[in-house]
Amino acid sequence: MFTFGYTVFVPHLRVRGMILNQTPPFPFETPQDAGAQSTPREQRWTLDDIPWQKIEHREVAAREDFSLLVAAASLVEATTGLYTRNLIDLFHGDEEVSLWLGEHWLPEELQHGRALRLYVETAWPDFAWEEIYRRFLEEYAPFCRLDALEAALSLEMASRCVVEMGTASYYTTLSRASTEPVLSLLARRIAEDEVRHYKHFYRYFRKYREAEQPGRKEVAGALWRRLRMTNSEDGYIALKHVSLARHPDRPFDKRRYRALRRELRRSFLAQFPHAMSVKMLLKPLELPARAQRVAEPLALAIARRLAP
């Protein structure tokens, strides 16, 4: 699963009008790059752009692993509003960053939650989303922490790059693997958003790095701390409640979770975008060419752990 470590309730969001600069072109190509060039204030897609009525129910019924992954992702994405206030607060002095977070990033993340929920409710009408989300949140709430932010702004931006790399990889995998065309389209749309989020966080990382001059070791530390949060409680708790909803008689514990993760990884590893993930992961380190070559196999092993 991907990581969603920051949690604090956001009752509402104040936003002021402003147009952001375009993100700079990214030095490597991904299938999602085409979506990064449109104007920032433009709404790239809405729920109306997804042809829900074309969901192929026969394909849906054939693959329970997809139902687990999509439903778990819908629960986790739906909590976005709970962990963003302290992130937005951290950058309150930077109008460009806080406006982007409030006007673009947060609405897009919330839309991911709504869209995934709609997919789940359309594809699996017997999935009592509201009730399962309530149970998920009840168990997940105690893990919400306010102190998970990095001490330096540049390091926090590097850390956010890891989160977006994780989600971009996750949805790209889902999109490639899904034989159900509507899910494949929806996952692609979300993956495009996540790649764009990464580019923004990376640009802001460079801006703060300029001012704070963190060493490579410190940046690596921030990346590592964030990576260690992957497979953390949100993924476990989400999969637990989704799995229990589908099989109430099958107990779910850490052992079952690890076995399920192994199963899912086996099924989806071939579709995992390894090269993209490794480049996204290493990019904030700006390693010299030789060190990059040495680091790539290690980063690949780490990135593979992010496969669904």
Of the candidate spans 66-74, 112-120, 285-293, 296-304, the one that interacts with Fe ion by CB under 5 A turns out to be: 112-120
Output 109 or 192, the one with its CB closest to Fe ion. 109
DSSP string, 263-305: HHHHHHGGGS-HHHHHHHHHGGG---HHHHHHHHHHHHHHHHT
- Contacts of 219 by beta carbon, 8 Å cutoff, 6+ apart: 154, 155, 158, 209, 284, 285
Q: Is 188 in the site for Fe ion (CB under 5 A)?
A: no
The rounded distance, in Å, linking the Cα atoms of 211 and 208 is 5
Q: Is 197 in the site for Fe ion (CB under 5 A)?
A: yes
Q: Is 296 in the site for Fe ion (CB under 5 A)?
A: no
**Residue 16 Cβ, how far from Fe ion at the closest point, in Å?**
22
**Residue 72 Cβ, how far from Fe ion at the closest point, in Å?**
13
Q: 132: which strand partners?
A: none
Of the candidate spans 38-46, 104-112, 227-235, 278-286, the one that interacts with Fe ion by CB under 5 A turns out to be: 104-112
Q: Is 226 in the site for Fe ion (CB under 5 A)?
A: no
- Contacts of 1 by beta carbon, 8 Å cutoff, 6+ apart: 72, 76, 170, 230, 231, 234, 235, 236, 238, 239, 308
The encoded tokens of residue 289 equal: 């060419």
The span from the first CA to the last CA of the chain, in angstroms, equals 6
Of the candidate spans 31-39, 187-195, 234-242, 285-293, the one that interacts with Fe ion by CB under 5 A turns out to be: 187-195
Q: Is 283 in the site for Fe ion (CB under 5 A)?
A: no
Residues 226, 230, 234: CA angle, nearest 5 degrees: 115
Q: Is 104 in the site for Fe ion (CB under 5 A)?
A: no
Q: Is 192 in the site for Fe ion (CB under 5 A)?
A: no
**Residue 202 Cβ, how far from Fe ion at the closest point, in Å?**
12
Q: Is 180 in the site for Fe ion (CB under 5 A)?
A: no
Helices and strands (DSSP H and E) totals, the chain:
14, 0
Output 112 or 240, the one with its CB closest to Fe ion. 112
Q: Residue type for 1, please?
A: M
Q: Is 279 in the site for Fe ion (CB under 5 A)?
A: no
Determine the size of the site formed for Fe ion (CB under 5 A): 5
Q: Is 109 in the site for Fe ion (CB under 5 A)?
A: yes
The footprint of Fe ion on residues 227-246 (CB under 5 A) is: none
Of the candidate spans 56-64, 127-135, 158-166, 207-215, the one that interacts with Fe ion by CB under 5 A turns out to be: 158-166
Q: Is 189 in the site for Fe ion (CB under 5 A)?
A: no
Which of 111, 113, 47 shows the shortest CA–CA distance to 74? 113
Chain residues that interact with Fe ion, rule: CB under 5 A: 109, 112, 164, 194, 197
